[in-house]
Structures are given as structure tokens and as C-alpha cells.
């Protein structure tokens, strides 16, 4: 097969082939074959042997622990590869690889890949770098699954007061969703929410009143969530909500609805006594391609602080331009 200019363009930008001259790619990969998949078609199956690395020329592949799985471990796009771990390690495939969309792949066999690695220092470096990254990610997933399994018999992942997941759980889960959204090039947003004047409210109505107000906010958050949304108690006073596949505009609209629901709710003590209505401030931040969970939380937290500084009962959103903040939304 002759590598077309379009295929060479994808290969030159692919992490596996960065810095490798065109003539070496053309020489060693000319015998590679094109492989097409339709949405939902399975490419690799666990426990089966594999002697091929597949480069994604177009479309997206889902890496899954089960053949039918609503939540993939990761989604790979143009220029990324699959099959390198099993091919180079001469080991069975460990995960299902399923077409998330219609895909075109370049299938490179074992011999051709090794010839390229032997003739190019850049190819060897890229492969080592990629394998290191893959192993690190695999270790993180294994550690996360182990912690989740031990969470029921070891440290709890649920906040006792609100019934929401605690900070440790939210950081693990949010980080996984953030990386998935960035890799799939889909927007996602973080809401940071805090009850206004909680200390004053508690001083006036007692610890029982303050706790009940926080429980009510948690209940409203749970009622507000869509199936893929994630929420937890981030600290004593703050709640965090991760909204995958959500633009900044839609996240602000959702935040307005949430803020209104809290303001219109009725805080009632177990004795039946009704307490004054409460309000919340919300900071909103949309994930960027270079974000870590820390940077995303920092922007949302800064927006939340500005919402509180503006008197509370309002929403502030961090924009994509230099961390600027939009004017407050108040109802």
C-alpha cells in the first residue's frame, strides 16, 4: 500500500511517530494495510493474541473492560494507537477495543514496527514513552478499582452527613471524567457550590439547623443530577458537581436552575419547625485541553469566591480567556 499524503499527515502528528522522517515512515510502513470498522464493531478481545498495532486515521475507539459497557475506560482519537502492549509484549490482549464511531485504521504488523524502531532512535523513544504512559495509566486504574472495592470495608467514600460521596471519591471520579472528556474532545464543566452565610445560619439556628440545611442542599443536588453527572461534598461547606458533555453556557443554565431550587426549598427540622430559606453561591468553570483537576478546581473556586464577594445568591463563571470572570448571574 502506498501511503497517501493524507495518511502521512496523520502519522507525522501521531505520538508514536513524532520526529521520524517521512522517508522512513514510507519505507517501513508501505506494506501496512487499511482497516475499517463500523460503530460498535469489536477490534480486539481480551485473552486473544495480537501481532498488530493499529493507528487511528479517523474516528474514535473505546477501551473497555467489558464488550458492552456504557462507560469506557478511555476514548482514543485520530493519531492514537492500540495494540502496542500486546504486540510488543507478546501477550494476550487485556481489554476490549470497540469502535465508538465509524473508523479507519492503519494496521502495522509486528515485523514492520520492529524494523522502524531499529532504524530510528525517535521511534524507539516514542514507543518507550508511550508504553510508560500506558503502564502508569493502567496502574492508576487498578489502584482506583482496589480503593473502590476496599471502600466498603475500609475508609468510607460517602459523607455521613449528606449522603453524597466525599472529597476523596470526587477527586478520583472527577479526574477520570476530566481526562476522558479532554481525550474525546468533548466539553465538560465543574460547578463549585457553597451555602451563603452558613456560619451565621448555624449560630442562629444551632448545629442541627446548619446540618439540616446542608442535607437539604445535598438532596436537591441529587435530584438535579443527570445519569452521567457526578457530585460530592468537597469540604465542610462546599459541594462539587462535574457535568460531562456540557458547555459553559449550558452549565450556567443548570447552575441557575439549581440555585433557584435551593432558594425555593423549605428547611424543616425533625421537630417540624421550619427555618428561614437559604441561598447558595456557585462558581462555574469549563475544562480546557491542558487542564488538570487542580487547575479546573482552582478556576471554579476563584469564580465561587467572586460570587460570594458579590453578595452571594449568584453565579460567576470563569471564561476561557485568561481566567476572566463573567458578570454575576443573580435571581
Q: What are the start and end residues of each CATH 2.60.120.10 domain in the chain?
A: 5-141
Q: What count of other Cβ atoms lies within 10 Å of the Cβ of residue 228?
A: 14
269-317 residue pLDDT tens? 877 788 999 999 999 999 998 888 889 999 999 999 999 999 999 999 9
Cell numbers given for 39: 460503530
What does the block give as the cell for 261? 431550587
pLDDT of res. 251:
93
DSSP string, 110-167: HHHHHHHHHH-HHHHHHHHHHHHHHHHHHHHHHHHHHHHHHTTTSS--B-TTTSSB-H
Residue 318, C-alpha cell as written in the block: 470563569
**Inter-residue contact 259 to 200 (CB < 8 Å):** no
Of 179, 94, 178, 81, nearest to 130 by C-alpha is 81
Tens of pLDDT, residues 27-79: 888 889 999 999 999 999 998 888 899 999 999 998 888 877 656 777 888 88
pLDDT given at position 291? 86
Tell me the backbone φ, ψ of residue 197, rounded to 5 degrees. Answer: 55, 45
Contact (CB, 8 A) for 309 and 327: no
Rounded CA-CA distance 126/121 in Å is: 9
Q: DSSP alpha helices (H): ranges in the chain?
A: 5-13, 22-29, 84-89, 110-119, 121-150, 167-183, 198-224, 248-264, 293-309
User: Residue 184: left (phi > 0), alpha (psi -120 to 50), or beta?
Assistant: alpha
pLDDT in tens, 100-117: 899 999 999 989 999 998
Is residue 324 very low, low, confident or very high in pLDDT (cuts 50, 70, 90)?
very low
DSSP string, 175-192: HHHHHHHHHTT--EEEEE
- Homologous superfamily assigned to 5-141: Jelly Rolls (2.60.120.10)
Domain span(s) for CATH 3.30.70.270 in the chain: 167-330
Give Cβ neighbours of residue 254 (< 8 Å, ≥ 6 apart).
191, 224, 243, 246
Can you tell me the mean pLDDT for 90-95?
A: 82
Q: For 211-238, what is each residue's pLDDT tens digit?
A: 999 989 998 988 888 878 889 888 878 9
CATH code for the structural domain at 167-330: 3.30.70.270
Amino acid at each position: 500500500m502506498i501511503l497517501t499524503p493524507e495518511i502521512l499527515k496523520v502519522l507525522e502528528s501521531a505520538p508514536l511517530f513524532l520526529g521520524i522522517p517521512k522517508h522512513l515512515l514510507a519505507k517501513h510502513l508501505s506494506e501496512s494495510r487499511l482497516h475499517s470498522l463500523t460503530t460498535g464493531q469489536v477490534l480486539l478481545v481480551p485473552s486473544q493474541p495480537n501481532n498488530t498495532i493499529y493507528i487511528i486515521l479517523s474516528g474514535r475507539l473505546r477501551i473497555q473492560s467489558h464488550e458492552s459497557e456504557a462507560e469506557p475506560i478511555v476514548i482514543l482519537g485520530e493519531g492514537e494507537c492500540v495494540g502496542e502492549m500486546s504486540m510488543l509484549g507478546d501477550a494476550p490482549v487485556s481489554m476490549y477495543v470497540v469502535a465508538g464511531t465509524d473508523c479507519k485504521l492503519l494496521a502495522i504488523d509486528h515485523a514492520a514496527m520492529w524494523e522502524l524502531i531499529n532504524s530510528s532512535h525517535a521511534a524507539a523513544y516514542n514507543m518507550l514513552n508511550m508504553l510508560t504512559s500506558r503502564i502508569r495509566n493502567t496502574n492508576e486504574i487498578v489502584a482506583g478499582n482496589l480503593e473502590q472495592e476496599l471502600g466498603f470495608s475500609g475508609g468510607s467514600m460517602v459523607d455521613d452527613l449528606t449522603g453524597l460521596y466525599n472529597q476523596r471519591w470526587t477527586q478520583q471520579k472527577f479526574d477520570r471524567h476530566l481526562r476522558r472528556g479532554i481525550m474525546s474532545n468533548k466539553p465538560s464543566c465543574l460547578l463549585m457550590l457553597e451555602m451563603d452565610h452558613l456560619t451565621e445560619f448555624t449560630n442562629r439556628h444551632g448545629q442541627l439547623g446548619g446540618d439540616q440545611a446542608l442535607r437539604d442542599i445535598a438532596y436537591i443536588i441529587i435530584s438535579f443530577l443527570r445519569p452521567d453527572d457526578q457530585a460530592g461534598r468537597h469540604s465542610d461547606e462546599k459541594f462539587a458537581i462535574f457535568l460531562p458533555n456540557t458547555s459553559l453556557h449550558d452549565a450556567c443554565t443548570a447552575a441557575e436552575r439549581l440555585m433557584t431550587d435551593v432558594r425555593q426549598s423549605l428547611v424543616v427540622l425533625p421537630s417540624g419547625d421550619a427555618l428561614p430559606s437559604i441561598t447558595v453561591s456557585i462558581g462555574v468553570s469549563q475544562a480546557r485541553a491542558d487542564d488538570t483537576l487542580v487547575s479546573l478546581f482552582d478556576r471554579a473556586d476563584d469564580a465561587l469566591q467572586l460570587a460570594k464577594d458579590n453578595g452571594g445568591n449568584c453565579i460567576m463563571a470563569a471564561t476561557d480567556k485568561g481566567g476572566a470572570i463573567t458578570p454575576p448571574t443573580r435571581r
